[in-house]
């Protein structure tokens, strides 16, 4: 009931988001959701629409993603639960214009995303920026932070989060986050890299929010039967479109 009420409220707010568009909002959002969630190129989605009797050029799909991926991220963030007291932080690499960049990512102990930061360097200033961003986005200061053994983290935690935050270095505790990196790594690999940092950041934020909203498990190692997973996916996919599409 609460979920449907919030969805209706956001739906009424979105009347102007798709004003003047040639295609219906539901079609646009379906295309953007497919692109964010699955390893599809713009030309793959163009073919999928053609099979359904719709002519949508791949360049049009690109403009839709640029315009509406941030909308998906903003609307779905409303439904994110506040992170628990313990968060795990790690960095991975993504390629932008044939150059590798650091992608800082954080999740809580239940696997829900906290925040991310894309940066050219892995140093103290980058770590501080990440912690300030995570604190501003969530409005919560964690009581425990688990990282790898990089030298920049202890000082960054003390200066941005406070001396009362417990810092742990454990490869074992960060295994879940290292496995979670596979999601974004596998998705962007089919795109053959990003063209600019802004588009990379836009995609990563929207991807994490949509992936988190659709995931069937609310905690690690939770058993969800196959029929329940299918039902949850159908319901949440329909909810995403209801939240986003214009009234």
Q: Supply the DSSP symbol for 193.
A: S
Write the CA distances from 222 to 114, 122, 216, 218, 219, integer angstroms. Answer: 20, 34, 9, 7, 6
Residue 211 scores a pLDDT above 50: yes
Domain 86-197 has CATH 3.30.420.10: yes
Contact between 13 and 25 (Cβ < 8 Å): no
3-state secondary structure of 167: strand
Helix (H) or strand (E) holding 103: strand 99-108
Residue 228, Cβ neighbours under 10 Å: how many? 11
Give the whole-angstrom CA distance, residue 201 versus residue 70.
Answer: 10
Q: Is 235 helix (H, G, I), strand (E, B) or coil?
A: helix
- Of 58-62, 88-92, 132-136, 242-246, minimum mean pLDDT range: 242-246
Element (H, E) at 50: helix 42-51
Using CA atoms, how far residue 152 sits from 93, 102, 149, in Å, is 18, 14, 9
Q: Which SS3 state, helix, strand or coil, does residue 238 take?
A: helix
Instruction: Give 149 or 57, the one with higher predicted confidence.
Output: 57
CATH 3.30.420.10 residue window(s) in the chain: 86-197
Mean pLDDT is lowest, of 62-71, 94-103, 167-176, 204-213, for 167-176
User: Which residues have a Cβ under 8 Å from the Cβ of 70 and sit 6 or more positions away?
Assistant: 202, 205, 206
Residue 204's nearest CA partner among 117, 119, 125, 99 is: 117
Q: What's the pLDDT score for residue 79? A: 80
Which of the residue ranges 65-69, 159-163, 241-245 would you say has the lowest mean pLDDT?
Answer: 241-245
Does the pTM of the predicted model rise above 0.85? no
């Amino acid at each position: 009931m609460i979920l449907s009420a919030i969805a209706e409220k956001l739906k009424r707010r979105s009347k102007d988001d798709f004003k003047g568009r040639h295609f219906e909002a539901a079609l646009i959002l379906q295309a953007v959701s497919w692109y964010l969630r699955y390893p599809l190129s713009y030309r793959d989605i163009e073919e999928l629409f053609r099979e359904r009797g719709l002519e949508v050029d791949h360049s049009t799909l690109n403009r839709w993603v640029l315009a509406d991926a941030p909308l998906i991220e903003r609307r779905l963030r409303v439904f994110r639960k506040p992170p628990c007291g313990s968060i795990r932080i790690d960095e991975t690499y993504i390629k932008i214009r044939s150059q590798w960049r650091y992608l800082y990512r954080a999740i809580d102990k239940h696997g829900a995303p906290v925040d991310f930061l894309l940066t050219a360097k892995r140093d103290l200033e980058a770590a501080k920026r990440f912690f300030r961003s995570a604190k501003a986005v969530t409005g919560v200061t964690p009581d425990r932070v688990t990282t790898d053994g990089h030298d920049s983290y202890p000082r960054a935690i003390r200066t941005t989060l406070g001396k009362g935050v417990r810092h742990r270095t454990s490869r074992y505790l960060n295994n879940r986050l290292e496995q979670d990196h596979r999601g974004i790594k596998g998705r962007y690999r089919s795109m053959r890299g990003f063209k600019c940092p802004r588009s990379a950041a836009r995609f990563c934020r929207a991807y994490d929010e949509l992936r988190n909203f659709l995931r069937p498990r609310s905690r690690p190692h939770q058993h969800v039967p196959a029929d329940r997973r299918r039902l949850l996916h159908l319901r949440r996919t329909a909810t995403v479109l209801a939240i986003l599409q214009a009234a």
